[in-house]
Chains A and B, each alone.
Chain A
Amino acid sequence: EDQVTQSPEALRLQEGESSSLNCSYTVSGLRGLFWYRQDPGKGPEFLFTLYSAGEEKEKERLKATLTKKESFLHITAPKPEDSATYLCAVQGGSEKLVFGKGTKLTVNP
């Protein structure tokens, strides 16, 4: 059974304090790993798709990386507007998207 574990559950940073969010996964035949951002009361907003180990993608202050067992979402010099819940999901051989429970990020000014 495909599983996704995100850590930490919550992370509080000061503006400018870089850090990383972790997404550990077990999946039979990874077809894609997805990162989403979710603001309170809103639907998940797509950030990145990673397909194979070693792949990296960047968008503004965010950088996603992928290994065979985990993915990291690196946040460089975060700003208060980066505060949100970040969701990780994997799609494997069953082709169903399995989500983690998310990491709630708070960036204080």
Chain B
Amino acid sequence: NAGVTQTPKFRVLKTGQSMTLLCAQDMNHEYMYWYRQDPGMGLRLIHYSVGEGTTAKGEVPDGYNVSRLKKQNFLLGLESAAPSQTSVYFCASSYPRGSGRMGTDTQYFGPGTRLTVL
């Protein structure tokens, strides 16, 4: 049971390049999330998904897109990277509490991807 895994672990991009971060979970969780963590800012929600084929915006969604084609995978895309997107990105997953909304159960995090945009 690997839990939540993220690939790649590190990446360096030039301004304007695109890339996709992959998150995979083997806990059969319905909900998945993407966060970014910056010094002095805490964790901030980018996008989230309450189930296969669904996505929704979080606190800081601009410049990112996501897709949830399979229940176990959640992809985060940067179409045209900017230096302001230099950050550590974390994926998380959880069970819902059954409300059909974002859910209140514990979120389990992956190890993170450190992205630098030059």
Query: Does B associate with A?
Result: yes
Residues of A whose CB lies within 8 Å of any CB of B are 4, 31-32, 34, 36, 41-46, 49, 87, 89, 91, 95-97, 99-102
The number of inter-chain residue pairs (CB within 8 angstroms) is 48
- 8 other A-B residue contacts (CB within 8 Å) besides A43-B4, A95-B101, A96-B59: A32-B104, A36-B109, A43-B110, A43-B111, A44-B90, A46-B106, A95-B102, A101-B42
Q: A44-B90, A101-B40 are in contact. Are A31 and B104 (CB under 8 A)?
A: yes
Docked Cα-Cα span, A46 to B108, in Å, equals 7
Please indicate which of the listed interface residues A34, A43, A99 has the most CB atoms of chain B within 10 Å of its own CB. A43
Q: Is B90's CB under 8 angstroms from A43's CB?
A: yes
Query: Separation in Å of the B54 CB from the closest CB of chain A?
Result: 15
**SS class of chain A's interface: helix, strand, loop or mixed?**
strand
**SS class of chain B's interface: helix, strand, loop or mixed?**
loop
Docked Cα-Cα span, A41 to B111, in Å, equals 8
Docked Cα-Cα span, A26 to B108, in Å, equals 24
Across the interface, A95 reaches (CB within 8 A) one of B41, B59, B104, B110, namely: B104
Query: Separation in Å of the A57 CB from the closest CB of chain B?
Result: 12
Docked Cα-Cα span, A97 to B35, in Å, equals 10
Interface string of B1-24 (1 = CB under 8 A from A): 000100000000000000000000
Query: Separation in Å of the A34 CB from the closest CB of chain B?
Result: 7
Please indicate which of the listed interface residues B43, B58, B111 has the most CB atoms of chain A within 10 Å of its own CB. B43
Query: Separation in Å of the B42 CB from the closest CB of chain A?
Result: 4
